[in-house]
Amino acid sequence: MTAQLKNWMLNAAKVMDDGFTKNEFVRLENSALVMSPIVASTKDEEYKFLDEQFKKRMEQTGILDVIGDTCNYPSYTQQTWMEKHIS
């Protein structure tokens, strides 16, 4: 198992090293890693339809209700919540 984990980690490190030169948001300057800010995507416009569908099918639920539900029911799963709140 240890050899398998070591190989997996070496492979992951190699993939990261190989991809570093293609990453436009990270660079090395004076032996320091510098990260550039990422500009927000304009793809949000494409998801408006999806957001509208979610809002139409889901009832409004306050955050305190959600926290209360999850605290009162330790076996409460995502599937249970979806069955209760999505028609």
Averaged confidence pLDDT in the chain: 78
- Residue 87 clears pLDDT 60, i.e. is over it: no
Write the pLDDT tens digit of every residue in 32-41. 888 888 877 7
Closest CA to 16 of 26, 6, 29: 26
Res. 75: pLDDT tops 70: no
Note the pTM of the prediction, 2 decimals. Answer: 0.32
Region 56-85: mean pLDDT is: 73
Contact in structure between 27 and 36 (CB atoms under 8 Å): yes
Q: Give phi and psi for 64, each to the nearest 5.
A: -65, -35
Asked if residue 42 has pLDDT above 80, the reply is no
